[in-house]
Structure 1
Amino acid sequence: MSRAVLVELGAVAHAPIARSYATLIERSLDEHAALVALAGAEALIRKDGWYDAFRTGPALAAAVADAEARGRDFGVRFDVLDGDGVARLEPHLTERMAGAVHWSDTWTVREPAALVAAYADAFVAAGGTLVQGEAAVPRAAGAGWRVMAGARPIEAAEVVIATGPWAAGMTRALGYRLPLFVKRGYHMHYAGEPGRPLGNWLADLETGYLLAPMRKGIRLTTGAELALQDAPATPRQLALDEAVARRMFPLGARLDPAPWMGSRPCTADMLPVIGPAPRHRGLWFAFGHGHQGLTLGPVTGRLLAEMITGEAPVVNPRPFFATRFV
C-alpha cells in the first residue's frame, strides 16, 4: 500500500474523531469563563491568543494552509504575520522569523496551579467539601461506593474516576482493559533580562518548544516524550530546546531547581473517556484528555454532572463512552 493511500485512510479515520473532539473544545472557553467569574480569577487569564512562529517560508506556507482548513471546517479564527510583523510583535527576538500564525481566540493562563486553586476555593465557598488524600480504588458499598482518601472512608451513590494517568491502574483493578498510555513533557522557568521582556506565547514549531510569559518567569515547554509513566526522567529534550531558544530569545538563569515533568493521560484514539463505567452502576469515568486536561476540565465536569443528574447533556457524550473500547 502506498504512502499516499495510507495518508488518505488516516485522514478518513481522523475526521469523525476531530468532529467529536471539537464539540468539547468549542465549549471550553464558555465553561472556563463561568468558573473564572465565580472564582474572581480574571487576573490569571489572558485573551490575546498565541503565536506559532516559523523560521522558513515553506513551513509557514504549510501552516497557513492548515489554518485555512481549520477555519473552513471548524470556524477557527487566525491572523498571519510576516517576518516584519513578528519582529514588531516581539522586538527582543534575536533571530529572524519568516512569519507566524496567530490563533486569536485562544486564552492563556498566567499560572495554572493558581487557577485550579481559585476554582477549588470557589467550590468550597459555594458549599462544596474538599477532602485531600491518596485515593484508593473505589469499592462497592451497599447501594453505592466507598473510596478511601488516605485513612478516611467516603461513601457516595456516584463516584467519578478522574485520576489522569493513574486512571489506567484504577480501572484495571476494576476489570477494565482500556488502551491508555502517557505522553510525558518537561518545562523550566527562566529569568528575563531587564528591559527585554517576552510579550506573548510563542511556539517555535520547526524546533518543537514553546516560550510563555508566566507569573514565575519565562516558561519553556518541550514536545512530547513517549515513555512509561514511572520511568526515570530524561530531560534531554529540554536541554536541546533550551540551547535553540537561547539563540532566539535572551533567556536568563534557570529558576527551578529541577525540570518539571508531567505525564499526560492519552487514549488510543486521542479522545477522552467520559461517561458511565460499562459494567458498574454509579461509577463514572473522566480521563484521557492528553495535553488538554486543564482546557477541557470544566466542560467535562458539566457533561458528567448532566449525565449523572439526568439532564440534557451540553454535547453528545456517546463518542467519549468507554464502550468504544470494551
Structure 2
Amino acid sequence: RGGHLLSGDARSLSQEPDGRWRVETANGPLVAGAAVVALGPWSDAIYGPLGYRIPLGWKRGYHMHYAARDGAKLNHPILDADVGYLLAPMRRGVRLTSGAEFARRDAPPTPVQIEVCEPTARRLFPLAERLDPEPWRGARPCLPDMLPIVGPAPRHPGLWFDFGHAHHGLTLGPVSGRLLADMMTGEQPFIDPAPYRADRF
C-alpha cells in the first residue's frame, strides 16, 4: 500500500516497445505496466494524440467572494434557481457562484453571469465589497450523456481512462477510483462498468 508523488509532464506519456507506459518526471523517466488518464478537463491533451475522438466538453463556472455588511452572517447556502446562482458561506467570505457556461476550456473568461446575478443577490443578502480582484473560473469536464468515462482505453492495453465527472469530480472520485481499481486488478466490479465505457461514443 502507499505510493510516491512525482512531478512531471503527463503529455510526455508514451508506450514502450514492450507495451509498458513511460512518462518523464523531475526524477527521471517512470515506466509502469499501466497508466491512468485522470486529468479532468485536460484529459484530451493525453487521449487526443493517441487517436481517440472523445466528445469531451467543458461547463465553465465562476465565483466571487464578498464581505458582509453590518456584521450579517450567512449560516447556510441559498440557491436562487430562478436567477441561477448560489450564495454560500466560506472562510474567505460569502461566495456567489454562477450557473454553467458552455465554452472552450481555455477561451477568455466571460463572467457575465456574476455581473447579472450580483444585483439580485445583493437584494437577498447584504453583500458588501468584492474580496477577489477577478472572478475565479473553473472548467468542469463533461460528456454528452453526463456520465464519466471509467475503464480501459479501447485500443491501448494498460491504459485506463477516468474523467468526465462534470460538477461531481470530488464527490465521485472515491467511488470512481474503486471501480477502476476493481477492473485494473481483475476483481469483480462492485457495479456494472458498461455505462462508463470509452467506446460508447
2:47 is matched with which residue? 171
1:261 is matched with which residue? 137
Find the aligned partners of 2:63 and 2:25 in 1 and give their Cα distance: 30
2:15 is matched with which residue? 140
Give deviations 1:119-153, integer Å, cap 9, x for gaps.
Answer: xxxxxxx7321123332142112341001246742
Give deviations 1:190-249, integer Å, cap 9, x for gaps.
Answer: 122353211111110000001111122211110011111121011111111112101110
Aligned pairs for 1:102-121 (under 5 A) are none
Residue 289 in structure 1 maps to residue 165 in structure 2: yes
Instruction: Tell me if the contact between 1:272 and 1:320 (Cα under 8 Å) persists in the aligned partners.
Output: yes
**Cα RMSD, aligned residues only:** 1.6
TM-score, normalising length from structure 2?
0.93
Q: Relative contact order: is structure 1 or structure 2 higher (C-alpha 8 Å, sep ≥ 6)?
A: 2
Which one-letter code corresponds to 1:275 in the other structure?
Answer: G
2:62 is matched with which residue? 186
1:69 is matched with which residue? none
Instruction: Tell me if the contact between 2:58 and 2:103 (Cα under 8 Å) persists in the aligned partners.
Output: yes
**3-state DSSP of counterpart to 1:136:** helix
Residue 200 in structure 1 maps to residue 76 in structure 2: yes
2:33 maps to which of 157, 165, 187: 157
Instruction: Tell me if the contact between 2:63 and 2:95 (Cα under 8 Å) persists in the aligned partners.
Output: yes
Greater per-residue helix proportion: 1
**3-state DSSP of counterpart to 1:245:** helix
**3-state DSSP of counterpart to 1:286:** strand
Find the aligned partners of 1:214 and 1:133 in 2 and give their Cα distance: 33
Find the aligned partners of 1:248 and 1:230 in 2 and give their Cα distance: 33
2:92 maps to which of 203, 216, 235: 216
**3-state DSSP of counterpart to 1:178:** coil
Which one-letter code corresponds to 1:135 in the other structure?
Answer: A
Structure 1 outlier segments of 4+, above 4 Å: none
1:150 and 1:210, CA in 2 relative to 1: closer, same or farther beyond 3 A?
Answer: farther
Which one-letter code corresponds to 1:250 in the other structure?
Answer: P
Instruction: Tell me if the contact between 2:19 and 2:157 (Cα under 8 Å) persists in the aligned partners.
Output: no
Find the aligned partners of 1:151 and 1:262 in 2 and give their Cα distance: 30
1:305 is matched with which residue? 181
Instruction: Tell me if the contact between 1:137 and 1:173 (Cα under 8 Å) persists in the aligned partners.
Output: no
TM-score, normalising length from structure 1?
0.59
**3-state DSSP of counterpart to 1:291:** helix
Report the identity percentage. Answer: 56
Give deviations 1:234-265, integer Å, cap 9, x for gaps.
Answer: 11111111121011101122112211101111
Instruction: Tell me if the contact between 1:274 and 1:284 (Cα under 8 Å) persists in the aligned partners.
Output: yes
**3-state DSSP of counterpart to 1:153:** strand
Find the aligned partners of 1:217 and 1:135 in 2 and give their Cα distance: 35
Find the aligned partners of 2:125 and 2:25 in 1 and give their Cα distance: 45
1:102 is matched with which residue? none
Which one-letter code corresponds to 1:139 in the other structure?
Answer: S
Instruction: Tell me if the contact between 1:274 and 1:322 (Cα under 8 Å) persists in the aligned partners.
Output: yes
Find the aligned partners of 2:190 and 2:68 in 1 and give their Cα distance: 43
Kindly tell me the number of residue pairs found equivalent between the two proteins: 200
Find the aligned partners of 1:273 and 1:167 in 2 and give their Cα distance: 11
Q: Is there any run of 5+ residues in structure 1 with no aligned partner, and where?
A: 1-125
